[in-house]
Amino acid sequence: MTQTEIKQTPDFHEDSETTPAISFEAYRDIYDSHANSFRLLGILNKEMYESAVADHSTVMGGHGANRLPVLVPIEYAVGYDAPKTNQLTGSPKTMLLSIPLALLNEVRLSDATEKLSPGGMAVLVESPQSEYASAKDEVKQSLSVVSELEARDFLDDQLANEDDRPASMSIFRGRLVPVNPDAHTASSLEEAWSQSLAETESAGQPIDMSNGTRFFTAEGLSRDDELTKKLWNLCQTRFSEMGENHPVSMEEDEQFFMDMLLDKDTYTTVKFVDGEPVCLGFLRHGLENCPWLSRSFIEDEKEAAEAAGEQVMYFPEIVSKKDGAMHAADVIKLQADLAAKAGITYRLLFECSNRAATYIPRIVARYINNSGSLRVEEGIERVDRLFYWYLAPSGQTAA
């Protein structure tokens, strides 16, 4: 085959391989200034960045007078399940394209020939929706310096709609407004919960803490180690079942889960049956503590919410025990009831994988509208979508 020429940049020469790589901070500045995604892409962790730069299998490139990592082992990318990704690509080693597509044709890959050829290596690419249609040809042309490469999707063949099958993450948005403005009796979700308990007691109804749905602040959960462990076990079991045919890990490690659960801006609603948690849902005030979201996206949403008189609320997840019962309806109803008492108009945001996106937005809208307290104004809309796909040598098949 004819090798594709990589553009020679005027300030980068063969001896630039001895030039130190740019700092992690400079790398992030370059990436973020060229990216167009609601999520941060590329290498997100300083320690992993430095390890990737030191790894001899990393393909470095020159951009002007700078030297930066262009292809790095997937192990240095936050959020991926490396063994599963290798299995899905059919490769013993999967590399991540760690620079924006906009820079790829401007970068000189001095050591790509010797590093891309061994063992049928695959290259994973993160493509924002705005670039997805053109990205495959562009990346293929730029990286086919050794062998003929094919662009392939991670497909979920269990999904009926062809457009839903490619691996992706989407972010959805909905405006939630109180059905009855006169229901505004509290200044916060915490006060609304206290009012709900008082109303139950005054009506002469017993408060059964072992059955039903309850609301927790981070402070309250921090004093209940037994419950937080049970909540982690519930999430760990369910999320391990949801990541088939997707390179991004749907599982969270325990530290990440606990950090989110016990963050002061997190509110947790739990459904109990016979004293055991069977479903939980989180709400988080604002997007500031979502480090995987891009700064530009966070600022845009914050400004738009302020202009519309809305409060940004991020809905990280709702997890239910797989027993056939519709526990999520009870969790979302309590969240809606408390929000209505607090007089909040939400700008609700949540993310879904391509599989979850086929049902979660519909369920969230239905349960909120059925709550009698809040309603979804003008429906739930998909704001953006991020695709994950890969390049592999012709003839190479997934395991």
Which of these three, 118, 147, 176, is where a domain ends? 147
**Per-residue pLDDT tens digits of the chain, which is 399 residues long:** 333 333 333 343 433 556 789 999 999 999 999 988 999 999 999 999 999 999 999 999 988 888 999 999 999 999 998 999 999 999 889 999 999 998 988 888 765 556 665 556 899 999 999 999 899 988 888 876 545 788 999 999 999 999 999 999 999 999 999 999 888 888 888 899 898 888 776 665 655 668 889 999 999 999 999 999 999 988 876 665 666 789 998 767 888 889 999 999 999 999 999 999 999 999 998 998 898 999 999 999 999 999 999 999 999 888 888 775 689 999 999 999 999 999 889 999 999 999 999 999 999 999 999 999 999 999 999 999 999 999 988 766 665
Q: How far is CA 246 from the centre of its chain?
A: 12
Same domain for 253 and 138? no
Please give the pLDDT value at position 111. 59
Domain count for the chain, please give it. 2
5 part of a folded domain: no
Whole-number pLDDT of residue 197: 83
Pair (206, 140) in one structural domain = no
pLDDT at residue 292 in the model:
92
248 shares a domain with 104: no
In a domain, 392, yes or no: no
My answer on whether 128 and 195 are in the same domain is no
191 and 103 together in one domain: no
Residue 207, pLDDT score: 59
The token duo for 343 is: 């007089």
Q: How far apart are CA 201 and CA 214, in angstroms?
A: 15
**Residue 31, in any domain of the structure:** yes
Tokens of residue 133, six digits: 């249609």
Block residue for tokens 């008189």: 309
Q: State the pTM of this model.
A: 0.88
Q: From CA 49, how far away is CA 77, in angstroms rounded? A: 9
Residues 181, 125: one domain?
no
Residues 282 and 202 grouped into a single domain: yes
The answer to the question of residue 394 being in a domain is: no
Residues 184 and 220 in one domain: yes
Tell whether 152 is covered by a domain.
no
Nearest Cα to Cα of residue 31 among 13, 14, 49: 49
Q: What is the largest CA-CA distance in the chain?
A: 82
**Does residue 398 form part of some domain?**
no
Inside any domain, residue 90: yes
Task: Determine phi and psi for 305, rounding to 5 degrees.
Answer: -65, -45
- What is the span of the domain harbouring residue 287? 168-385
Tell me if 84 is assigned to some domain: yes
233 plus 133 within the same structural domain: no
Question: Any idea what the CATH number is for the domain that residue 181 is in?
Answer: 3.40.630.30
Domain match, 56 and 205 both: no
Q: In one letter, which amino acid is 156?
A: D
Continuous H helices in the chain: 24-34, 46-54, 82-89, 101-104, 112-116, 129-143, 189-202, 218-221, 225-239, 254-261, 295-308, 327-341, 360-370
